[in-house]
Structure 1
Amino acid sequence: MRRIILNVAVSIDGFIEGPAGEIDWCFIDQDYGMSAFFERIDTVLYGRKSYELMLAMGEKPNPAHKHYVFSQTLKTVSEGFTLKNGAAVDEVTQIKKTAGRDIWLFGGARFAGAMIQAGLVDSLLLSVHPVVLGAGKPLFEGVEQRSEFVLKDVKSYDTGLVQLFYDLKPVS
């Protein structure tokens, strides 16, 4: 079965956005392994807010990947995206069962929290930036049960960014 990877930038104090939704603290000065990551995946999953943020930044979907937007409120999405209005956990479970490469859970916090809660996230790739935001959007929202992960690798960069690679700990 395909693996779902939550790959996200996070501050030292656990926020993925600043208080006003800002992400200007995220390093974009080098690749940080993203080219290799894009080769590993063929599908990207977005919650509504992350999809809207991506569009506002002028980003376009990579035509080499399938792009799914999960929303109960949107009626349409831009070209290159597929809208999923059903129960997100059921929809993601079905996508995970299809043939293909790994799946990038792009975000956001509520959507990622729901996928963690449902046990659908197999791996975390946390790019920890050397900044304390003090407030903002937390990495996860709505997680009410414990999920344990095993550290698989650590990469550090001269900018101070540290990437932590975790896999979901198998249930004993």
Structure 2
Amino acid sequence: MRKAVVFIAQSIDGYIATKEDSLDWLFSVEGEGDNGYGEFISTVDTILMGKRTYDWLMKEEDGKFPYPDKKCYVFSRSQHEDTEHVTFITEDIGRFLSHLKDEEGKNIWIVGGGDVLQTFFKESLVDELTLTVAPRIIGEGIPLFKSGDYQLDLSLLGTRTFNQFVELHYKVVK
């Protein structure tokens, strides 16, 4: 069965972006190679993200979709016309993911953003979490883990360092 995985970076104080949606703080950290991204992306063939993250990504990439060789689904509260690379989804996240996991394929990467991740965490839909911690404190912004009525039990699978970054790889205990 396919796994739903989160692969994401955060500041030491738990933010994935500033309140202005900037990642400049992250890109200023000295890493090593691609910080494990290439190895990770080869394990997935499907990508899930929210509409706000999709819009940010398209703006940052000057309209060029960065994952043309992957199936990509974007969750939205309103209807949008599908593109060459993206299918927009308005149905229940849990039900949709359940169908995806039953299909043949590699892992499913839950990219973000914060609201989509919150739903996946709250409904206990994540199987593994790879968290790369950057040595920065940004004070405020978009938190990786929003407050709410949920708990996740994690089991450490491994750690690695990429120069200034520390990668923590967890299995979600269900």
Under a length normalisation based on structure 1, what TM-score does the superposition of the two structures give?
Answer: 0.92
**Structure 2, unaligned runs of 5 or more:** none
Q: CA deviation at 1:91?
A: 1.1
Match of residue 117 from structure 2: 112
Q: 2:133 aligns with which of 128, 133, 139?
A: 128
SS of the residue corresponding to residue 156 of structure 2 reads strand
Structure-to-structure mapping, 1:23-38, within 5 angstroms? 23-27=23-27, 30-38=33-41
Matching residue's letter, 1:7: F
Matching residue's letter, 2:70: H
Match of residue 170 from structure 2: 166
Matching residue's letter, 1:123: E
Q: 1:60 aligns with which of 32, 55, 65?
A: 65
Matching residue's letter, 1:72: R
Matching residue's letter, 2:16: I
Match of residue 14 from structure 1: 14
Structure 1 runs of 4+ with >6 Å offset: none
SS of the residue corresponding to residue 26 of structure 1 reads helix
Q: 1:88 aligns with which of 93, 113, 128?
A: 93
Matching residue's letter, 1:13: D
Q: CA deviation at 1:67?
A: 0.4
Query: CA separation in 2, counterparts of 1:41 and 1:132?
Result: 30
Q: CA deviation at 1:63?
A: 2.5
> How many residue pairs align between the two structures?
169
Match of residue 76 from structure 1: 81
- Identity within the alignment, %: 30
Under a length normalisation based on structure 2, what TM-score does the superposition of the two structures give?
Answer: 0.91
Task: Check 1:129–1:138 CA distance in 2 against 1; reply closer, same or farther (3 A cut).
Answer: same
Write out per-residue CA displacement over residues 121-171 of structure 1, whole angstroms, 9 at most, x where no aligned residue: 00101111100000000003364211101111111122x11111000114x
8 Å Cα contact 1:61-1:80 kept in structure 2: no
Write out per-residue CA displacement over residues 88-110 of structure 1, whole angstroms, 9 at most, x where no aligned residue: 22112211221100011000111
RMSD: 1.6
Query: CA separation in 1, counterparts of 2:147 and 2:93?
Result: 14
Deviates more, 1:129-138 or 1:29-38: 29-38
Task: Check 1:77–1:145 CA distance in 2 against 1; reply closer, same or farther (3 A cut).
Answer: same
**Structure 1, unaligned runs of 5 or more:** none
